[in-house]
């Protein structure tokens, strides 16, 4: 028996490193895909560290040309208007820190409340007994079918009537309470928690509210983290809704600010170096967030998509 | 009694090794209205989500349908005009143009994205199980459409973009990717493929993980090639997952807006005036909220029809899987 296992593993080991033409092709395709995926990131960095005048002279140089941090200074509003215009900027001000804070506030508000409220509802759908439960859940699920564009116009009208246009709350409100997806996602998890866990806590004299906050929520930390990061990325990257609702710096988020920065074209053509620096600053928080949670997210995306 | 220490293997989230989560359907005793109820508590737990659902999802949906029958500019009350907006829409050549452009976009976007995502997913499954590679594949998804649009706008710039530098270096003519009527839509479609393909690939990869590996081993013993295994094992067993992913991505791509807004703003000469961009312009450029709502209803109808048809096709497809 042991001999058989030994030979099979031996056979496998000798088979593994065999290089076939097919494998070479497959790896080449894989390498090309990785290159296409990552090249833009390098090109952002390379451009951001170049000066606009040098970029025009050496467009194809693989390394930063005329290395400078001027682009970052312009994006962060650290240069005087004359200086910025001299270096190919528009001179238009950008309050990057303000937008960064706005984006953070909006994404945090949406993520925290959406997940808390969706988890609460999901718990009621999965573990509580009440009349009409399946009907209400069906109604929630049907909400998944409504395309976002459809609710955006009426929601804008509503937010305007509430007097919340151009406020961070106005940007956050529509997705702060729930999304059908988040409810569905959390419900899937709660359905799979073994009944005994809850019963044991009930025997210990805990009420259902206590069970939810002290037992169920902590147990759900992994799906909550996955859902949280995905929600954070989605709300951070959202552009259409904030574009509709915000008009001034007080509520402008990074995506909208970036699009405005891109639209402020100086006489000489785009300020590519400043634009790439701004792009990098806008994207960096998500890259850092992903850096922390990558392993978990990548392995649990399966759960979010296929049900 | 420490309840929190229950085995983590119960978590439905798949670990790196890819053990299948087993959905366990609850017994009858938990069904609707059975036994003693938790009605009051349930109401309390559902209240916030219900508020959000009613105010920001159900009500706007109904209101959108209502607004589509009115003339409304935000400043004066909505005025009922019956089917006027719909009549106007049917006669509006720009509406039909933008629908055509959107469909063109969806076809290119979905076609390229599905094939590439499938290729990446299969390579990730059959070639290597590297978690690092999976992470790399997902990175563009972290960027906003705005960032993706701006970066590619720069890389594809006619004079200074690295893309055209390479094309010129190879001795070809420079291509005005985003400034040319023919090239603009395919270019925008491919930019969005770049951003979304990794996410789609990971969804498909998850589907592939559910295929038992001994099926491949048995096929290999029988001398089947990778190519044959792909068509005889991977494709048939992945089809249900592929169908679900397709529905999701098609619906998503019909709603393209951000990338168009930052790269071409609908131009040149309406060549990239996708439906959602046209709706936005009607509402916020010209304050024709009623007309914009009518076009939204049209989009909703199109999307519902697509979902329905795809759903039916999926159901039909599942039966012959065996």
**What pLDDT score was predicted for residue A177?**
95
Residue, of B60 and B247, whose pLDDT is higher:
B60
- Chain B contact for A255 (CB, 8 A cutoff): yes
pLDDT above 70 for B102 = yes
**pLDDT (tens digit per residue) in B198-245:** 999 998 998 888 888 888 999 989 988 888 999 999 999 888 888 888
Q: Nearest Cβ partner of B146 from A27, A259, A272?
A: A259
B14:A23 CB<8 A: no
**What pLDDT score was predicted for residue A194?**
86
**What pLDDT score was predicted for residue B35?**
43
**What pLDDT score was predicted for residue B128?**
83
- Chain A contact for B119 (CB, 8 A cutoff): yes
Q: How far apart are CA A175 and CA A179, in angstroms?
A: 6
Q: Residue A79 has what DSSP assignment?
A: S
Chain A residues near residue B20 by CB distance under 8 angstroms: none
Q: Residue A167 has what DSSP assignment?
A: S
Q: What is the mean pLDDT of chain B?
A: 84
**What pLDDT score was predicted for residue B247?**
84
**pLDDT (tens digit per residue) in B66-96:** 999 999 988 888 889 989 999 999 999 999 9
Angle at B318 (CA atoms; ends B317, B322), nearest 5 degrees: 115
pLDDT above 80 for B311 = no
What region, left, alpha or beta, does residue B315 occupy, with left being phi > 0 and alpha being psi -120 to 50 degrees?
alpha
What region, left, alpha or beta, does residue B78 occupy, with left being phi > 0 and alpha being psi -120 to 50 degrees?
beta
**What pLDDT score was predicted for residue A92?**
62
- Chain A contact for B6 (CB, 8 A cutoff): yes
- Chain A contact for B115 (CB, 8 A cutoff): no
**What pLDDT score was predicted for residue B34?**
41
**What pLDDT score was predicted for residue A17?**
60
A192:B258 CB<8 A: no
| Phi, psi dihedral angles at B224 (to 5 degrees) | -75, 145
Angle at A205 (CA atoms; ends A201, A206), nearest 5 degrees: 60
**Spans in chain A with pLDDT lower than 70:** 1-17, 82, 88-94, 266-268, 301-307
Q: How far apart are CA B23 and CA B26, in angstroms?
A: 9
3-state secondary structure of A16: coil
Partner B, chain A 233-252, Cβ-Cβ below 8 Å: 233, 236-240, 243-244
pLDDT above 70 for B321 = no
**What pLDDT score was predicted for residue B94?**
95
Element (H, E) at A5: helix A2-15
Omega before B30 cis (within 30°)?
no
A143:B53 CB<8 A: yes
Nearest partner of A209 among B34, B6, B31, B45, judged by Cα: B45
Chain A residues near residue B54 by CB distance under 8 angstroms: none
A233:B18 CB<8 A: no
A302:B205 CB<8 A: yes
Partner A, chain B 223-282, Cβ-Cβ below 8 Å: 226, 241, 244-245, 248, 251, 254-255, 257-258, 261-262, 276, 279-280
**pLDDT (tens digit per residue) in B133-143:** 888 999 999 99
**What pLDDT score was predicted for residue A305?**
46
Mean pLDDT of B126-133: 84
* Three-state SS letters, chain B: CCHHHCCHHHCCCCCCCCCCCCCCCCCHHHCCCCCCCCHHHHHHHHHHHHHHHHHHHHHHHHHHHHHCCEECCCCCCCEECCCHHHHHHHHCHHHHHHHHHHHHHHHHHHHHHHHHHHHHHHHHHHCCCCHHHHHHHHHHHHCCHHHHHHHHHHHCCCCCCHHHHHHHHCCCCCCCCCCCHHHHHHHHHHHHHHHHHHHHHHHHHHHHHCCCHHHHHHHHHCCCCHHHHHHHHHHHHHHHHHHHHHHHHHHHHHCCCHHHHHHCCCCCCCCCCCHHHHHHHHHHHCCCHHHHHHHHHHHHHHHHHHHHHHHHHHHHHHHCCC
Instruction: With cut-offs at 50, 70 and 90, classify the pLDDT of residue B169.
Output: confident
DSSP assignment of A206-240: --HHHIIIIIIHHHTHHHHHHHHHHHHHHHHH--H
Enter the ipTM.
0.84
Chain A residues near residue B240 by CB distance under 8 angstroms: none
Retrieve residue A290's tokens: 């992903």
In order of A74, A137, A204, A260, the CA distances from A93 in angstroms are 9, 48, 61, 11
CB-side neighbour CA atoms (13 Å) of A23: 9
Q: How far apart are CA B319 and CA B164, in angstroms?
A: 49
pLDDT above 80 for B262 = yes
Residue, of B267 and B77, whose pLDDT is higher:
B77
Whole-structure pTM value:
0.84
Residue, of B5 and B61, whose pLDDT is higher:
B61
B202:A262 CB<8 A: no
| Phi, psi dihedral angles at B71 (to 5 degrees) | -105, 125
Alpha helices in A88-179 (DSSP H): 96-127, 133-142, 148-161, 168-176
Please, what sign has the CA dihedral across residues A103, A108, A109, A111? positive
**What pLDDT score was predicted for residue B318?**
55
**What pLDDT score was predicted for residue A28?**
92
User: Mutation test of the interface with chain A: which of B14, B67, B150, B187, choosing the one with the most A Cβ atoms within 10 A?
Assistant: B150
**pLDDT (tens digit per residue) in A199-258:** 888 888 878 888 899 888 998 888 898 889 889 999 999 999 999 999 898 899 999 998
| Phi, psi dihedral angles at A182 (to 5 degrees) | -65, -40
């Amino acid at each position: 028996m042991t001999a058989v296992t030994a030979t099979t593993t031996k056979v496998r080991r000798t088979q593994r490193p065999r290089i076939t033409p097919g494998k070479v092709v497959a790896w080449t395709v894989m390498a090309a895909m990785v290159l296409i995926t990552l090249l833009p990131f390098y090109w952002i960095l390379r451009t951001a560290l170049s000066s606009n005048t040098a970029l025009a002279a050496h467009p194809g140089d693989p390394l930063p040309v005329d290395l400078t941090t001027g682009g970052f200074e312009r994006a962060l509003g650290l240069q005087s208007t004359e200086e910025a215009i001299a270096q190919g900027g528009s001179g238009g001000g950008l309050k990057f820190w303000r937008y960064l804070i706005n984006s953070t506030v909006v994404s945090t508000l949406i993520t925290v409340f959406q997940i808390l409220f969706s988890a609460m509802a999901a718990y009621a759908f999965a573990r509580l007994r009440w009349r009409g439960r399946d009907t209400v859940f069906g109604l929630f699920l049907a909400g998944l079918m409504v395309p976002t564009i459809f609710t955006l116009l009426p929601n804008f009208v509503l937010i305007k009537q509430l007097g919340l246009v151009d406020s961070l709350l106005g940007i956050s409100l529509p997705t702060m309470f729930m999304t059908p997806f988040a409810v569905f996602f959390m419900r899937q998890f709660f359905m799979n928690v073994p009944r005994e866990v809850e019963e044991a806590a009930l025997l210990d004299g805990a009420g259902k509210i206590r069970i939810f906050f002290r037992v169920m929520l902590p147990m759900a930390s992994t799906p909550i983290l996955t859902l949280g990061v995905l929600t954070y990325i989605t709300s951070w990257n959202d552009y259409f809704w904030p574009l509709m609702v915000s008009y001034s710096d007080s509520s402008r988020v990074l995506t909208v600010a970036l699009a405005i920065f891109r639209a402020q074209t100086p006489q000489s053509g785009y300020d590519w170096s400043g634009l790439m620096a701004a792009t990098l600053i806008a994207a960096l928080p998500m890259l850092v967030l992903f850096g922390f949670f990558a392993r978990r997210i990548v392995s649990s995306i399966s759960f979010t998509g296929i049900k | 009694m420490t309840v929190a220490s229950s085995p983590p293997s119960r978590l439905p989230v798949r670990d790196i090794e890819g053990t299948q989560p087993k959905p366990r359907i609850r017994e009858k005793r938990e069904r609707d209205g059975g036994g003693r109820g938790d009605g009051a508590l349930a109401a309390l737990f559902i209240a916030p989500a219900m508020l959000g659902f009613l105010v920001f999802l159900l009500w706007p949906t109904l209101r959108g349908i209502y607004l589509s029958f009115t003339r409304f500019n935000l400043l004066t009350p909505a005025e009922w005009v019956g089917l006027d907006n719909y009549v106007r829409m049917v006669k509006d050549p720009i509406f039909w143009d933008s629908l055509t452009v959107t469909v063109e976009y969806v076809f290119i976007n979905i076609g390229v994205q599905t094939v590439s995502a499938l290729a990446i997913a299969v390579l990730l499954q059959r070639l290597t199980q590297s978690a690092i590679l999976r992470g790399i594949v997902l990175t563009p998804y972290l960027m906003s459409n705005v960032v993706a649009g701006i970066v590619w706008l720069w890389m594809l710039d006619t004079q200074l973009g690295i893309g055209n530098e390479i094309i010129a270096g190879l001795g070809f003519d420079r291509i005005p990717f985003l400034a040319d009527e023919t090239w603009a839509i395919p270019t925008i479609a491919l930019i969005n493929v770049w951003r979304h393909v990794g996410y789609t690939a990971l969804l498909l990869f998850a589907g592939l993980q559910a295929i038992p590996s001994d099926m491949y081993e048995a096929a290999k013993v029988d001398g089947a090639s990778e190519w044959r295994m792909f068509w005889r094992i991977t494709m048939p067993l992945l089809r249900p997952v592929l169908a679900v992913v397709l529905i999701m991505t098609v619906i998503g791509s019909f709603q393209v807006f951000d990338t168009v807004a930052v790269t071409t703003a609908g131009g040149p000469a309406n060549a990239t005036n996708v439906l959602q961009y046209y709706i936005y312009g009607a509402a916020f450029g010209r304050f024709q909220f009623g007309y914009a709502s009518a076009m939204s209803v049209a989009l909703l109808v199109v999307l519902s029809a697509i979902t329905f048809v795809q759903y039916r096709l999926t159901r039909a497809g599942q039966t012959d899987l065996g």
